Amino acid sequence: MLYKRSSELFVAANKVIPGGVNSPVRAFKGVGGTPIFVKEAKGAYLYDEDGNRLIDYINSWGPMILGHAYDPVVNAVIEKAKKGTSFGMPTELETQIAELAVSMVPNIDKIRFVNSGTEACMSAIRLARGYTKRDKIIKFSGCYHGHSDSFLIAAGSGLSTFGVPNSPGVTEGTAKDTLLANYNDIENVKALFEANKNEIAAIIIEPVAGNMGCIPPAKGFLEALRAVCSENEAMLIFDEVMTGFRLAKGGAQELYDIQADIVCFGKVIGGGLPVGAFAAREEIMNYLAPLGPVYQAGTLSGNPLAMAAGFEMLKALNSDAEIFNRLDQKTAYLEKGIHTVLTEANIQFTINRVGSMISVHFDANPVFDFETAKNGDNETFKKFFHGLLNRGVYIAPSAYETWFITDALSYKDLDFTIKAIEEVANEL
């Protein structure tokens, strides 16, 4: 495929946008080459500025669960825009989508809408600290909760070592209150609690990790986190920005039958528009201003266009009894096809999948945390990525990102993808 126009646009973008992109992974730094500039999308397909059609397996990093330009969402946004795009005042629609979300997700009474997943996670941490009157949090290496300072922390040495900043601009003062644990390692978590008694406000975790590839929780891991939080009067925060309304109507809480104290949302809940949310039981949410002392605000929070898009998306998911079964079946079909062709090509690999989240790791050993995810053969992944791109299949341009399956994919699309993977595998 030719990408002349995309290359020209990337040169122009670099002159006025840092790195030519507004989010780093779009720059293709992990795979090399020039990023693809999209002109439009519909259903399961992207159409770039050079006229190429690509089968899309990132789907805007998750929200396009029913496909791009889903008609009910598009029409709702158009009609709402005709009546005004922002008011900075309450609207009935905010209550309607809040009522629907609360009805779909177990263990939440109230929800507050914000403008991004980053903002949702940042606000959830502030709420947990204010509610518990403690400062420290535990996060897991390889889990991404947005670019708020508290989350841009790399692991230090030793089980109870304070985190250190992983990005310039993050102060050591901020970093010292973030403790790092290894995903799927409950003994590591217990050691942190032991070393920081009565100081830890919360654990925040992606219940299914999606930023080191798809990493499922080990059997009993989430249950053990729930228990250790309860024992230590700390809060369990599920970052369901990716998993919320994707793995089940009620997200990972429903799928794994685990009750978190605070849940963060994004992606699907906005139907593709910029939005985030966080939710909890009434006594926790009432600790927020204007009812309580924890301040959180946003001029565009509850924006009518985002609320319109999200409301239509949630209504569609809530009314379709088979949507999550279909997504699971399609993703399982893709997994089986990939497994077959990579095995026949004698390539070392591991596939991780939970529902409609899936990733391919070029390492034969199990991938269960950030350290094992880093063992994958990145050179093979780069060839794999570009081989698929040249055949009209677009996957995440990073070995550390999950793929997101959309219901708009047909089995013909899946067969085309499996055939493309077979061709690429024979060239690796």
Pairing of strands 45-48, 53-56: antiparallel
- Per-residue pLDDT of 340-352, as tens digits, reads 999 999 999 999 9
Predicted confidence at residue 159, as pLDDT, reads 30
Is-catalytic flag, 136? no
The whole model's pTM is what?
Answer: 0.94
The residue among 251, 252, 410 whose CA lies nearest residue 330 is 410
Is-catalytic flag, 267? yes
Choosing from 239, 261, 369, 407, the catalytic residue is 239
Token digits of residue 177:
């209150």
- Per-residue pLDDT of 79-92, as tens digits, reads 999 999 999 999 99
Q: Read out DSSP for 290-335? A: TTSSB----TTTT-HHHHHHHHHHHHHHHH-TTHHHHHHHHHHHHH
Query: Vertex 284, ends 235 and 216: CA angle to 5°?
Result: 40
Domains and CATH numbers, the chain: 4-69+323-425 (3.90.1150.10), 71-319 (3.40.640.10)
Predicted confidence at residue 173, as pLDDT, reads 72
Predicted confidence at residue 160, as pLDDT, reads 31
Predicted confidence at residue 158, as pLDDT, reads 32
Predicted confidence at residue 166, as pLDDT, reads 62
Predicted confidence at residue 169, as pLDDT, reads 76
Choosing from 267, 330, 394, 413, the catalytic residue is 267
Token digits of residue 204:
């925040």
Predicted confidence at residue 157, as pLDDT, reads 27
Q: Cα separation of 313 and 310, whole Å? A: 5
Choosing from 45, 57, 131, 144, the catalytic residue is 144
SS3 265: strand
Predicted confidence at residue 236, as pLDDT, reads 98
Q: Which stretches in the chain have pLDDT values below 70?
A: 153-167
